[in-house]
Every structure is written in structure tokens, then in C-alpha cells.
Structure 1
Amino acid sequence: MNEYFLQNERLGISTPNLQLEWDQYSEETQQSILLHWEKIRGRIPDRIAELEEIINRKQAQLSDEADFARSCELNSEIAELASIINDLWLWYRTNQDVTEKMHQ
């Protein structure tokens, strides 16, 4: 399946990397891709929970931080983590219809 997915370091998951139009893949290949994606998709909520824990730790640090420069760094890190979470939810929801088609 490595030929159909690429590891996205920012998101911490593999994302689809299809070189052909969906209909150009055999039905067997489509099913394999969908099964693999379903496994990845199923781990997205866990990945989001991990990132939320990191955000919570950084927010706790921020509430005790007296140094303005460090506060700005923490805010920036929190914003980036929140952006990653948003992107993960987009992947999770956008591809939900594909997953539903797989089960029909």
C-alpha cells in the first residue's frame, strides 16, 4: 500500500497519494486502498487526542509563563497544533463518504 499512501509528517498519518483517476484502478485495488484508508482513518481520533494532550500541557505552561517571548512561542506552538487537529478532522470527515461507499 506504500505506493498509494505517503506519510505526512505534519499530520502524523499516511494520506492518499493516488497517481491515477479512481476508476482507473481495478476493483480489487480500490478495495485494498479503501481498507487501508479505513485503518488509517480509524486512528485519526487517537492522533487528535494525543495532540490535544500536548495542547493542554502547553496551555498549562503558558498560564505560568512570565517571559513574554516564551509566551509567544507557546501560543504559536498551540496554534500550529490546533491547525493540525483541524486538518486531521478535515481528512476524517471528507473521506467519510468514501468509507461509507466501501460498506455498501
Structure 2
Amino acid sequence: MCPTPIGRVHSRVASLIPGALLATLLSIITGNADWIVLIGVFLLLGISLDTAFYPLVIRYQPPWMTFVLAVFEFGLLLVLASVLQLDLMIWAAAIFYWVVWILA
């Protein structure tokens, strides 16, 4: 975890570039723009957590906590995708999330 909020935002944006490219490719192949919306929600969720929540609750992030935070963000992303009524299968969105997380 970067020590400054702006560093966390830069890291988050840079790490999601491959995911954005994948979302664009999936949108073109399937004709469903919700893949791009999903990666956008993922980015906004991550930036919100990195700037407003994580600095308040995490002083030091041990390496094992990365996966715990990923599972937490995954749950929040599924809730937001449901609220936004994205036209995506849950299993497809889950696979997409973990592929993007691994690429990052």
C-alpha cells in the first residue's frame, strides 16, 4: 500500500489499465457495454476505498491482507453491479474480477 492517498490512486489507475483493455475487448466481442461500466465501477470503488476508508482503518498492510481486501472489494463490487442492474452473469463478472485482479 502506498503511503499517500495520491500514490494509492496512481497505483490503482495504473493497475487497472489491463483490465480496462480486457473490458473493452469483451464489450466489442459481446456487444455488451456493461463490461466497461463494471471496470469503471471497479475503479471508482477502489479509488473511494483507497482515499476515504483504507487510510482510516489500515495503518500498515501486511502482504496477506491484500487478498482479504480483494475479497472485500469483490463483495462490494457485486453489490454495486446488482444495484446498477448490469446485464452480466454473476459468474462471468466474478471471473472477470479475478482475472483483472491477477493482471493488476
Normalised to the residue count of structure 2, the TM-score between the two structures is 0.34
Specify the structure having the higher radius of gyration (Cα): 1
Q: Name whichever structure is richer in helix by fraction.
A: 2
The structure with higher relative contact order (CA 8 Å, sep 6+) is 2
Normalised to the residue count of structure 1, the TM-score between the two structures is 0.34
Q: Name whichever structure is richer in strand by fraction.
A: 1
